[in-house]
Amino acid sequence: MSDLLWQKTGVQTDARIMRFLAGDDVLLDREFLLFDIEASKAHVEGLVRIGLLADAEGSKLLRELDALARDFSAGEFVLDERFEDGHSAIEARLSDQLGALGGKVHTGRSRNDQVLVATRLWLKTKLGELAETCNAVAAVCLDRAEAESLPMPGYTHLQRAVVSSTAMWFAGFAEAFIDNAWRARQTLNLIDANPLGTAAGYGVNLKLDRDFTTQRLGFARMQVSPIYAQLSRGKFELAALEALASAALDLRRLAWDLSLFTTSEYGFVKLPGIYTTGSSIMPNKRNPDVIELIRASYASVAAARTEIEQLLSLPSGYQRDLQLSKGAIVHGFHHGLGALALLPDLLSGIEWNADAMRAAIESSMYATDVAIEAARAGVPFREAYRHAADSAQHAAEGRTPESSLGARISPGAAADPQFEQLRQRLSDL
């Protein structure tokens, strides 16, 4: 391993203990290294601005940081067990190439604000991707809701309830994903604060140019209190995972619908072949594995959220426990975003089986229409309800799924879907 940043004379280390301390850190830090380098560059520029580094020193450090980013991206610099973590790797590389100057990069910063700023930049990127993906899902759903409306059964308790439509189904998920996109953006705004320059969590005796690094790194604001900067580690990760979980939860219900709708028993939906796989033993099978794995992605997101929540049982100030929050966000976002990213194409590609859906609409499903019509004509609803229950078969005569949907004029329902409101919110995003 490269020299430990914190190595002092007379301090003993033990290989087994060091391995335990590092855990998967050096591997996980591959996710964050480019952000760490970006923030290191801002830090160097900030040090030049306050005269702690000469212009020439700053230029050398910046050039070497760029070179490291290039080598890392090209696979020529590998972040591995030679280093304690990504932060150490950056300093080791600078010292390797620039000698004593490399050791100046850490002036006025701690790995505590270094990891905070790198993970925060990473989280901002992921929340941006989340918002974009939710947007794309909502757009596909709204397009399909506007393009076509086929009658289908509407269920409550998984029992046939009232006539619904594919347009209503799609509109429901369109609105859900507009909310999810909005929530991702809100969360992005919440966490859009620069922790760099808070050092170990108590500030430093240097007039660091934190306004500069804030603007240079594209943060909306400076995270003012060094104590809060540390308190926000894990808390902001949790907020990001909650935004992700909100989308993943709708995703799970959508996947559930599709896995039911594609069974022979329902037969409402045909999935494009690319979303199904075969069985190794049953030659007759095509299985909707993709939908099932999409459904399962929620488990990874929820697990990540739980892990961080459990980690946060801590007093204020940096605690090493927080290191484990990195694995949680990496895995949670990997699974959650991976599943969501498949959704726009999948939803564009599903085909409805109009006949099967129509065949599943039975006459009892008009009973609510019948009762409400009588109530509209002045019969007390409870009386109309009982009458409709008794005469469901008879009352359904002459009714069609289209007539039921055509009369569904309550705002948002089939005859008045108000798609323009959803369009407006989607474009506001």
Which of 36, 85, 175, 369 touches ligand ARG (CB under 6 A)? 85
Q: Does residue 199 interact with ligand ARG by CB under 6 A?
A: no
DSSP alpha helix (H) spans, 350-417: 354-359, 367-376, 381-390, 392-395, 401-406
Q: Where are the beta strands (DSSP E) in 276-377?
A: 277-278, 286-287, 351-352
Residue 321: CB minimum distance to ligand ARG, A:
9
- Judged by CB, which is closer to ligand ARG: 112, or 166? 112
CA-CA distance, 81 to 87, in Å (whole number)?
13
* Residue whose C-alpha is closest to residue 233's, from 333, 330, 115: 115
The residue from 279, 348, 363, 403 that is catalytic is: 279
Q: Token pair for residue 6?
A: 């914190």
Q: Does residue 25 interact with ligand ARG by CB under 6 A?
A: yes
- Judged by CB, which is closer to ligand ARG: 112, or 133? 112
Active site residue 279: yes
Q: Does residue 181 interact with ligand ARG by CB under 6 A?
A: no
Q: Of residues 363-382, which lie at the interface with ligand ARG (CB under 6 A)?
A: none
Q: Of residues 290-329, which lie at the interface with ligand ARG (CB under 6 A)?
A: 318, 320, 322-323, 326
Distances (CA, A) of 45 to 50, 99, 196, 209, 214: 9, 19, 13, 9, 12
Q: How many residues in the shown chain lie near ligand ARG by CB under 6 A? A: 10
* Residue whose C-alpha is closest to residue 213's, from 103, 29, 49, 34: 49
Q: Of residues 327-346, which lie at the interface with ligand ARG (CB under 6 A)?
A: none
Q: Of residues 387-426, which lie at the interface with ligand ARG (CB under 6 A)?
A: none
Beta strand pairing call for 159-165 and 277-278? unpaired
CA-CA distance, 286 to 276, in Å (whole number)?
6
Q: Does residue 192 interact with ligand ARG by CB under 6 A?
A: no
Residue 309: CB minimum distance to ligand ARG, A:
17
Residue 375, C-beta contacts closer than 8 angstroms, at least 6 positions apart? 381, 384
Residue 331, C-beta contacts closer than 8 angstroms, at least 6 positions apart? 300, 303, 304
Site map (CB under 6 A) of ligand ARG, residues 103-122, x = contact: --------xx--x-------
Residue 287: CB minimum distance to ligand ARG, A:
40
Residue numbers at the binding site for ligand ARG (CB under 6 A) = 25, 85, 111-112, 115, 318, 320, 322-323, 326
Which sequence positions are flagged as catalytic? Answer: 157, 279
